[in-house]
Structure 1
């Protein structure tokens, strides 16, 4: 997934797109904006009250009026604190609502991708996009956007009030302002580039850790701990350097801002103090108020730079998330036919397919599987066996030709309707970190406990499940780690059986299990294939002797077809040679 870097300090087009997600929460959005305006007003009321207190009560020594101004300042402070609370709470609430909607939309978009997309995408990166990147987007609303708006309003109101009080002191303050603005601009641009690098390194780090933890057995088996440790240190070092860049820019900018603020205070005290001692238009209260106002003016400016960092990180994260949302990698679901029932006739008519352009995996395959037949597909690794079943389920789009179910082109069938009539049992069974029951039903509320129990008894695995602690409520942990490969395979058979499919596909279902489990699986196979169209891919030819038809593939083409006995009669045939290698013994 490539990212376009505009080089802009701020991408307004991306920002406008992000803001559209606040449309369902307009009232909250406007309320937060209102509290931001109120906060900017309260900002100048306190210095004004302080000025009036000094000029009208402390210098004249009016104790009664002093009490009034102190009470007024306390009241304003309470209102300001209350408004600040409402502002922070609802800004964060809005951010969480927005990222919830984006995350749901992203996940829905991702589960519709072609299998090819996941073949080419690192899982760790996708997890980063769906979790940490989206969480970073929330900070745009909670700590970025509204905070910046609030700070800008404060600065505007403060400047207007300062001009009203003393245009001479205001011009002194504005002498330093261009330096701060220029430094802030450079700071923003540098931080944007730095944060893009940080997010890239975070993705690399997540991807590396996820893959190594998933493949920890291989890492330890081949004693690669030291090698992977060194690789991790290298990636982690790049991640650290990315963050160090942001620290470096911060360490330069904030001292400059602090120095500028101190110079401003010195100028105010010098000019305002001279004017006040010479009975000019500037009073002592104005000088004190301007000292506070100048700090309140520069403090938001420094905070804006800080909040802009947060905003930049959120924008970078949003850009990455939107890149996935904009990815068009879905199987075209333009079919409108809904299949209420399927007899199970399957036809491939001159089907050609390639994972990589101009490198065909299937080269004009044509075959017919009649309804209720059991058809086996055999051949060397890479011959195209698994590709056939992937295309039947429409995990990939064919280059040319037609695939039909009951003489209906599968492209004209609604995708969910098509797949609901097909069940697939893979060699590498995937189980979720959940109970056996939920792994069987996949949380389908239409499948009852009684149906699951009866199906398990019918295919002979009920006793095995009940022997586990908790029976059907036994949690198999991540990827079914608490079960053996044979046990996982049995669970996958039961999962397929309760789905009651019209077409059953078994892909190398017995290639990695022990003899006892293989017998159980063979019995289960005989049960669940009875009366339905079944396609069996197998290396062990003993499991497919009774198939109605055996398809032999080599290098993406069908080279032989027939039943077991017919294929053995072909002298020098592919299937006959394969059979002899597996079953013939060397004579004494």
Structure 2
């Protein structure tokens, strides 16, 4: 099952919140695209004046057309700002609630595991899953879900405008889309193992930090501060190196 499908299967009790937040994201993108259309209408008014698109709707005087465009601009700006605030609040609230539920579900599951599991796995890896991985999910819902929706809606709206204006231009604009999708999935397959490696390094570093802090009395008793600091430096360097590899590949997507 795809990770997104698994995530939203956990969010069944929040379906209404997801729908409302998605609706606000769609409406925000709708108002976000409208100014570009208004610019085209404004150019049409300046060039064609009484023969413009708005004149065909019954508003013949160019001054009245410009006043109407000014009013529409203000309304669009208010609508865009309002729906941006609303979707931001909804997605962030959903992220907090789902983060809490997932953390509690994961912790209850960990408590039911036998002791052999804890002997085979580092405590830092478990902490990384219970804390960092779930926080990553929260960050995705805070911004990533909205961005996915807005990219999809924006593509549909821009594509619709292209098809209305000229079919040939629309088809030319859609030619790169399959290549872009293939490239995105190609990068995703290669990014996954790198971020798994980053999580392992983060878990090892967290384990070392946890052990050192719990045993700080022993470290001081044997004057091993520099020795243990060297271990932390090595672990941090390993984490930085692996994270750098993942960052370089993920940055190539843009």
TM-score class normalised by the smaller sequence: 0.7 to 0.9
Secondary structure, counterpart of 1:223 in structure 2: coil
* Deviation (angstroms), 1:185: 3.3
Per-residue CA deviations over 1:380-410 (Å, capped at 9, x if unaligned) read xxxxxxxxxxxxxxxxxxxxxxxxxxxxxxx
Rounded Cα–Cα distance in structure 2 between residues aligned with 1:114 and 1:194: 29
Equivalent-residue separation in structure 1 for 2:191 and 2:120 (angstroms): 31
Partner SS for 1:35: helix
- Equivalent in 34, 46, 56 of residue 35 of structure 2: 46
Q: TM-score, normalised by structure 2?
A: 0.84
**In the alignment, is the contact (CA less than 8 A) between 1:184 and 1:253 conserved in 2?**
yes
Larger radius of gyration: 1
Whether 1:18 and 2:7 are equivalent positions in the alignment is yes
Q: Tell me which residue corresponds to 2:52.
A: none
CA distance in 2, matches of 1:225, 1:245: 30
Q: CA offsets per residue over residues 119-149 of structure 1, 9 Å max, x none?
A: 4443322222222222112123222234212
**2:238 is matched with which residue?**
238
| Contact 1:39 1:154 survives alignment (8 Å) | no
Q: Are residue 59 (structure 1) and residue 52 (structure 2) matched?
A: no
Question: 2:58 maps to what in 1?
Answer: none
Measured after TM superposition, the shift of residue 164 of structure 1 is 0.9
In 2, distance between residues paired with 1:178 and 1:114? 47
Alpha-carbon distance change, 30 to 208 in structure 1, aligned in 2, over 3 angstroms? same
| Aligned match of 2:20 | 31
User: How many residues are aligned here?
Assistant: 242
Q: Within 5 A, what are the aligned runs for 1:471-550?
A: none
Q: Is the 8 A contact 2:123 2:207 kept in 1?
A: yes
Conserved? CA contact 2:29–2:153, under 8 Å = yes
Deviation per CA, 1:500-523: give whole Å up to 9, x if none. xxxxxxxxxxxxxxxxxxxxxxxx
The aligned residue for residue 106 of structure 1 is 106
Secondary structure at the aligned position of 1:59 is classed as helix
* Greater length-normalized contact order (CA 8 Å, ≥ 6 residues apart): 2
Matched, 1:132 2:132: yes
The answer to whether the 8 Å contact 1:201/1:238 transfers is yes
Aligned to 1:84: 84
Q: Which has the higher helix share?
A: 2
Q: Equivalents in 2 of 1:199, 1:163: separation in Å?
A: 45
Secondary structure of 2:223's match? coil
Deviation at 1:150, TM superposition (A): 2.6
Deviation at 1:234, TM superposition (A): 1.7
Matches within 5 A, 1:152-171: 152-171=152-171
The offset of 1:159, in angstroms, is 0.8
Separation (CA, whole Å) in 2 of partners of 1:201 and 1:223: 27
Note the aligned Cα RMSD (angstroms).
2.3
CA distance in 2, matches of 1:251, 1:128: 23
Looking at structure 1, the residues matched to 117 and 177 of structure 2 have their Cα atoms a distance apart, in angstroms, of 51
Richer in strand (by share): 1
CA contact (8 A) 1:124 1:211 kept: no
Offset at residue 46 of structure 1 (A): 2.3
